[in-house]
Homo-oligomer: A and B are copies of this chain.
Amino acid sequence: MSETRDIDMSVRIGGLTLRNPVMPASGTFAEGLESVIDFNRLGAMVTKTITRELRAGNPLPRVVEQPGGMINAIGIPSKGVPYFIERTLPCYTPYDTPLVVSISAPTAEGFASLAAELSIPGVAAIEANISCPNIEEDGKAFAMRAESTENVTRHLRAATNLPLWMKLTPNTGDMPEVARAAEAAGADAVVVANTILSMAIDLKTFKPCLGNIMGGLSGPAVKPIVLRHVFQCARAVGIPVIGCGGISCADDAAEYLLAGASAVQVGTATFVKPAVMVDIIDGLATFCQRRDIPRVADLIGATVIEEADEPDVSWLSPAS
């Protein structure tokens, strides 16, 4: 920890200054982790997505392991807002670390009223998980399209003065456009990204490995894909991009910062190595020290692109 003293580890995400750029990803963090790491070391804390209604979550099995990652279809089991305010929130208020509350709703109005209800002391920012189905648009996730993203962001912006982070899905072909829509409608940051829709089939039973048939891939396997999304989104918007996908060591986090992320979220890696976020924080400090970089924020978007490197997308899909 002594290394961290020399390096300015702080980053700014919209109106918030974080002590360092490392925080958990929604759905992979809860009070239980306090038995392993000191929450006062984190840049921020992010809750599992909550909804207004009580929800059961998906049928089992909810998780299946893959080479270099896992697919999950947990769903959003939720105990509702009162339970959250009375029981969950007090677990986090003692810490000197901003708490980001992840929310979801089936309509733009639903998002807005939930955000309003949760704009209370102890909540430092709202992360809107818009990778969920929009029942007003035939069940397509809000973040699949720029228009629906703009609409839900606008509703949210009107409903809360808290910093507003929009968490996008990588299952669209239009991430940079969707990010621009979020920015245009007043988001303070975009989180790139949620999991990648995936599937596995059990060769003994011929049944899908997950109760929900499909689920979201996370872990190291998705890193090169999501890193590209972050690179593209960071070039598309002026607001901060928070990178999230497969980060499991300080080098991965540094790669995301270089690609343009202002902070990173760590999810699945915590399941394998529960203290990994603290290792990443210390490792980022060492990374900077070894290279005589005084502030971790100097890494943000510092990828060196040479003239000759302008991408010739050839048989690949275009680089936005």
Give A contacts to B, CB under 8 Å. 27, 49, 57-59, 66-69, 71, 73-76, 104, 129, 131-133, 139-141, 143-144, 169, 171-174, 194-201, 203, 205-208, 211-217, 220-225, 227-228, 231, 251, 254-255, 258-259, 287, 302-306, 308-319
Contact = CB atoms under 8 A, between A and B. Distances in A.
Contact of A104 (B132, B143, B196, B315): B315
A126 to B, nearest CB: 15
Contacts of A225: 196-198, 217
A224 B66 contact: yes
A214 B309 CA distance: 10
Given A203-B251, A231-B199, A304-B206, A317 B217 contact: no
A89 to B, nearest CB: 21
A252 to B, nearest CB: 10
A248 to B, nearest CB: 10
A216 to B, nearest CB: 5
Given A144-B317, A313-B139, A319-B197, A305 B224 contact: no
B259 A318 contact: no
Nearest to A138: B318
Contacts of A259: 199, 201
The dominant DSSP class at the A interface is: loop
Most buried by B among A208, A221, A255, A309: A221
A144 to B, nearest CB: 5
A129 B313 CA distance: 13
B227 A200 contact: yes
Contacts of A171: 173, 316-317
Contact of A203 (B131, B174, B201, B255): B255
A75 B139 contact: no
28 contacts: A27-B315, A58-B312, A59-B309, A67-B68, A68-B221, A73-B316, A74-B314, A76-B314, A104-B315, A131-B315, A139-B318, A141-B316, A172-B317, A194-B317, A195-B316, A197-B316, A197-B319, A198-B225, A199-B224, A199-B227, A199-B259, A200-B255, A203-B251, A207-B305, A208-B303, A208-B309, A212-B314, A215-B316
B174 A200 contact: no
Contacts of A194: 315-317
A163 to B, nearest CB: 21
A207 B304 contact: yes
B314 A67 contact: no
B251 A197 contact: no
CB-based closest 9 A-B pairs: A198-B224, A172-B173, A171-B317, A199-B228, A75-B314, A221-B221, A141-B317, A68-B68, A173-B173
Contact of A213 (B59, B195, B200, B311): B311
